Homo-oligomer: A and B are copies of this chain.
Amino acid sequence: MADLKVNIGRLELKNPVLTASGTFGYGEEFADFIDLNRLGGIIVKGTTLHHREGNAYPRMAETPSGMLNAVGLQNKGVDYFIEHIYPRIKHYDSAIIVNVSGSIVEDYVATAEKLASLDKIPAIELNISCPNVKEGGMAFGTSCPGAKSVISAVRKVYPGSLMVKLSPNVTNIAEIAKVAEDEGADSVSLINTLLGMAVNAETRRPVLSTITGGLSGPAIKPVALRMVWQVYNAIKIPIIGLGGIMNATDAIEFFLAGATAIQIGTANFIDPQVTIKVIEGINEYLDRHNLKSVKELTGALQVVK
């Protein structure tokens, strides 16, 4: 049994497997299938200052080796989270991380401030990359000044571990990652969904109510791996890699490309037990390769120059 512990800045995780925001509810949805206490961390749904109804149905389209979603941050708002949900989930022996979204900087700040008071939330994931909301969201994640404005404002009020989730819909993701590092983020997570679209040829209509939506699943894994590698070569703070991870081999590819930990998203829909299988698979890989700690894999890609 190898050592699976990893450190995301000051935050220690018992293993490097987290669940991706918006794909794992509040964890409870999976309690019948797995022991939630075995996870390295649970990143809960995108949470905003105020209640949001999200986008109209239809919100989903299946695509080759992936899916599009247009949920649009449906959630009951941070106060509801604190009052009703937090008490139910705070006892999990996994890091509970809240994914924070907003349309204006002030909303991000207010939400982060409220979450800062919660003992059992050691970190927030700042979602500056959601493609499914009209205002804000992705706009912050696709320009350096935009990213800077929200990260620096949140950093001022949030003393916990600050993870910034980056958008892949940019020319140069390393540049945005650098901004996050410079503004004091403890880590970056990448990638959020790629902006995509689906069309129904027979009805001649878009499949999603919002026309475009976020692409996730194995289809995007090559892009995610590339971005993790680019960011790894540009910054020093830890990287949490995600995008299309379906099994332990995929996870290990992300570690090699530079990730310290990984998140599993869409795969949970296909196999609600996938997270545990990935944890076990990583352990098996480490044993088979005679590695003592998963940390040895981070950025260990052998590149012949």
Contacts and interface: CB of A to CB of B under 8 A. Distances in A.
B222 A197 contact: yes
Given A204-B256, A256-B201, A194 B221 contact: no
A89 interface: no
Contacts of A196: 222-223, 225-226
B204 A222 contact: no
Interface stretch (A43-51, A99-107, A110-118, A212-220): A212-220
A198 interface: yes
Interface string A170-213: 11000000000000000000000011111101011110000110
A219 B301 CA distance: 25
Nearest to A199: B253
A303 interface: yes
A7 interface: no
Give the bracket for the number of chain A residues in contact with chain B. 35 or more
A68 B222 contact: yes
Contact of A300 (B195, B198, B204, B252): B204
Given A204-B300, A303-B211, A65 B218 contact: yes
A232 to B, nearest CB: 11
A244 interface: yes
User: Chain A interface mostly helix, strand, loop or mixed?
Assistant: mixed
B64 A199 contact: no
Contacts of A222: 61, 63, 66, 68, 194, 196-198, 215, 219
Given A204-B301, A223-B194, A226-B212, A257 B199 contact: yes
Interface of A: 61, 63-66, 68, 142-143, 169-171, 194-199, 201, 203-206, 211-212, 215, 217-223, 225-226, 229, 244, 249, 252-253, 256-257, 285, 300-304
Given A61-B222, A211-B229, 17 more contacts: A63-B218, A63-B221, A64-B244, A65-B65, A66-B219, A194-B223, A195-B223, A197-B222, A197-B225, A197-B229, A199-B253, A199-B257, A204-B302, A205-B301, A211-B303, A219-B220, A219-B222
30 contacts: A64-B65, A64-B66, A64-B218, A65-B65, A65-B218, A66-B219, A66-B222, A171-B171, A194-B223, A196-B222, A196-B223, A196-B226, A197-B222, A198-B222, A199-B225, A199-B253, A201-B249, A201-B256, A201-B285, A204-B302, A205-B301, A205-B302, A205-B304, A206-B301, A211-B229, A211-B303, A212-B226, A212-B229, A215-B222, A219-B220
